Amino acid sequence: MSELLPIDTRPATGDLDLLRRFWTFARPDSWAFVFALLATPLIAAGNLAQPYLLKRAVDEHIVPGVEEGLLDVALLYLLAVLGAYVLQAAYTLAVAWAGMRTIVRMRSALYRHALRLSQTFFDRVPTGKMLTRLTTDLESLGEALGANVVTVALDLTMIVGTLGFMMSMDPWLTAMLLLVAPPLLGTLEALRRKLKGLFLETREAIANVNAYLAERIDGVEVVQLYRNEGMSAAQFDERNDRFRRATTTANVYESLMFSVVDGATSIFIALMLFYGAGSIASLVGRMGVEVTWGQAVSAGMLIAFIDLLDRLFRPLRDLSGKIAIIQRATAALQKIFGLWVDARPITPGTVDPRPVGGHLVLRDVHFRYREDAPDVLRGVDLEVRPGQVLAIVGATGSGKTTITRLLDRSYEGYRGSIQLDGHELSDLQLGPLRSSVAAVRQDIQVFSETLSFNTSLDNPDIGDAEVEAAAELVHAQRFIARLGWGHTLRERGADLSVGEGQLLTFARTMAHDPDVVILDEATASIDSLTEELIQDAIARILERKTVIVIAHRLSTIQSADQIAVMDQGRVIERGTHAELLALDGAYAALVRAGQEAVAAG
């Protein structure tokens, strides 16, 4: 299951295009589907031989009382039953095995694809909707394959083969039964079209339910603190009720498909008995018309035709159910691939930046998060030399964090030039770049794994010694010694304080030993004493590295080699702490405001 298959992110042009994309993931196990196709005519032959042998047994042996040869017919019948059973079991097993491998392969490819997407995608697609595509929708595909929807080929072969066999046995009886076929097929097609729209609506409704659940459960503390439980429950009920209505309507139409086929079966059997009893010939004869068809048929023929009708309508009935499952699966495929339209992975680049000196140059950089949105960076010019510390300050929304997210290529699509050691950022290989540029952000990201894993992320190049040294350096060993390296964190690090969580992420950054370090409000939730210790660690370990600091605390930025003041996406002042104070501009105003806030506190 190690195949790394690409995701086609172009808009789908129809059901056939969706199936073509699906086949991309099924192709590695195509031998199973080839086996199923080759077994199909053999299974059909075994099934169709049974009513023929039954007719022979009744007409040639049971009715006339001839025992000679009956055992041979019975043995042939048993052989046909066993042969068809063994082949169909192997057929079903092969298709189900290949189908489940296809689903697993598809889920793996979608997850790997998601890991390579830029932050822009995750900004516009709710997490719950992504989870729906990777779980519920793929489960619908698994249901389709698990129900052997691929056996539609066998069903169609059985239908065509049975009709041909019936025609060879009694053309008039078969033709009479076919009179009901056109309205039946027309009704099934109308129901199929209706079901496709309903299943699309169902998939969208459950995605909205999951997205709402993920968001509200993640923010349940805020919901409870502000007594929003009633409103939140009402809004959830509204979304849940939409899903219920769509599902109920789809179930009604799905049941109609089965009912139509079952009703047609009963009508066909009644017509066959009416014909077989010679009633049609008698009725027409009383009208003065002499006919040579519609006469009474043998008991063996009637039994064989009843058996053939069952073999005709059983796959037809199953086919109607499978059509419903196919429509559900097609709707799921449409939603799955629709989610990834325009979800382009980050351009990998071709230039390996290593060894990294840490010389960063930004020239006339513009950036917007969406095509229809205004620029959040407007002509930014900055330069940071190796070993220097650049501090970026400014009001909320001025573009500080956006710059740092461009530097580690969380976002793409900037205009202008960003160069690292003379190489354009967009040309650099993503892996080496992110090994060289690391960020500690205000938002704490930890996993429900051990403290050791959360520090090294299972990087084989980081041993226990490096992990422990990194924790010692940032003074995280205090709480780690209390919990133990093997301690598994609860969801979202609920068993850590905010400060401990930030120390852990700081240790993670130090353990990976990057060349360029971005500190984006990384000490905002740490007390002043701990911040002093961290600043001491930074000074000792990052003497030859490039550091970019975003912080509101002046104590964090006063010693920076350069301070850039941003306002509305532009750099409006640049210089050292002393130079900017002497300028008595925006930076000096920020300093005075900070001092007043401390005095007031």
CA–CA separation, 214 and 237 (whole Å) = 15
For residues 165 and 72, give the distance between their C-alpha atoms in angstroms, rounded to a whole number: 22
For the segment 106-111, the average pLDDT, to the nearest whole number, is 82
pLDDT in tens, 284-309: 444 444 444 444 567 677 777 777 77
pLDDT at 278 over 70: no
pLDDT confidence of 599, banded at 50, 70, 90?
very low
CATH T-level assignment (fold) for domain 15-339: ABC transporter transmembrane region fold (1.20.1560)
Give the mean pLDDT of 42-68. 84
Question: What does the alpha-carbon distance between residue 356 and residue 517 come to, in Å, rounded to a whole number?
Answer: 12
Q: Which two tokens stand for residue 233?
A: 């429950």
Model pLDDT for residues 237-266, shown as the tens digit of each residue: 888 888 888 888 888 887 887 777 777 777
Percent of the chain surpassing pLDDT 70: 82
pLDDT number for residue 554: 67
Confidence category of residue 116, pLDDT binned at 50, 70, 90: confident
Residue 113's contacts (CB-CB under 8 Å, 6 or more residues apart) are 7, 340, 343, 345
Average pLDDT over residues 380-385: 92
DSSP string of 63-95, one letter each residue: TTT--TTHHHHHHHHHHHHHHHHHHHHHHHHHH
Separation in Å, CA 376 to CA 69, 224, 399, 491 = 91, 34, 6, 34
**Cα–Cα distance measured from residue 596 to residue 285, given in angstroms and rounded to the nearest whole number:** 113
For residue 9, the model assigns a pLDDT of 61
Residue type, 65: G
pLDDT of residue 525: 60
pLDDT in tens, 410-451: 888 899 999 998 899 988 888 888 888 888 887 778 888 889
- Reported as a single tens digit per residue, the pLDDT across 338-380 is 776 656 677 777 888 888 888 899 999 999 988 888 999 999 9
Nearest CA to 194 among 255, 139, 146? 255
Give CA–CA dist 150/159, Å, rounded. 15
3-class secondary structure, 199: helix
pLDDT of 124 higher than 60: yes
**pLDDT band per the 50, 70, 90 thresholds, residue 225:** low
- Asked if 198 contacts 332 with a C-beta cutoff of 8 angstroms, the reply is no
Q: How confident is the model at residue 281 (pLDDT cuts 50, 70, 90)?
A: very low
Residue 116 is encoded by which pair of tokens? 């390579």
Q: Is the pLDDT of residue 126 over 90?
A: no
Residues in contact with 119: Cβ distance below 8 Å, sequence separation at least 6, in sequence order = 405, 410, 411
Q: Which residues of 54-68 are buried (b: 16+ CB within 10 A; e: fewer)?
A: bbbbbbbbbeeeeee
User: What does the pLDDT read at residue 343?
Assistant: 66
**Topology classification of domain 360-600:** Rossmann fold (3.40.50)
Mean pLDDT confidence for 585-595 = 80
Residue 289 is predicted with a pLDDT of 45
φ, ψ of residue 202 to 5 degrees: the values are: -65, -45
Q: Pick the residue with more confidence: 150 or 416?
A: 416
pLDDT of residue 293: 45
DSSP, residue by residue, 40-53? HHHHHHHHHHHHHH
Structure letter (DSSP) for residue 345: B
| Pairing of β 377-384 and β 360-367 | antiparallel
User: Checking DSSP bridges between strand 546-550 and strand 562-567, what pairing results, if any?
Assistant: unpaired
Q: Is the pLDDT of residue 44 over 80?
A: yes
Reply yes or no on whether the pLDDT at 465 is more than 70: yes
Check residue 574 and give its pLDDT. 92
Q: Is the pTM of this model over 0.75?
A: no
Q: What is the mean pLDDT of the chain?
A: 79
Provide the token pair at 578: 């002393």
CB-CB contact of 318 with 152 (8 Å): no
For residue 590, what pLDDT is reported? Answer: 83
Kindly report the CA angle at 41 between 35 and 46, in degrees rounded to 5? Answer: 115
Tokens of 64: 């006339």
CA 65 to chain centre: 65
Cβ atoms of 84 and 161 closer than 8 Å: no
**CA separation for the pair 242, 239 (Å, rounded):** 5
Higher pLDDT, 326 or 47: 47
Listed by start position, the domains of the chain span: 15-339, 360-600
Model pLDDT, residue 291: 46
The per-residue pLDDT for range 69-80, each reduced to its tens digit, is 888 888 998 999
| pLDDT, position 221 | 65
Question: Does the pLDDT value for residue 186 go beyond 90?
Answer: no
Q: Is 441 helix (H, G, I), strand (E, B) or coil?
A: strand
**Local confidence band at 232 (pLDDT 50, 70, 90 cut-offs):** confident
The residue type at 131? L
Q: Max CA-CA distance within the chain?
A: 121
The stretch 275-290 carries a mean pLDDT of 50
| Cα–Cα distance, 194 to 202 (Å, whole number) | 13
Half-sphere exposure of 140 (CA within 13 A, CB side): 23
Domain 15-339 and domain 360-600, same fold? Reply is no
| Per-residue pLDDT tens digits for 540-575 | 665 667 888 887 666 667 888 899 999 999 999 999
For residue 355, whether the previous peptide bond is cis, meaning omega lies within 30 degrees of 0, is: yes
Contact 411, 362 (CB under 8 A): no
pLDDT of residue 292: 47
Q: How large is the angle between the packed helices 299-339 and 152-169, nearest 10 degrees? A: 160
Q: Determine which of 109-123, 138-152, 350-364, 406-420 has the lowest per-residue pLDDT on average.
A: 138-152
Q: Is the pLDDT of residue 479 over 70?
A: yes
In this prediction, residue 283 carries a pLDDT of 45
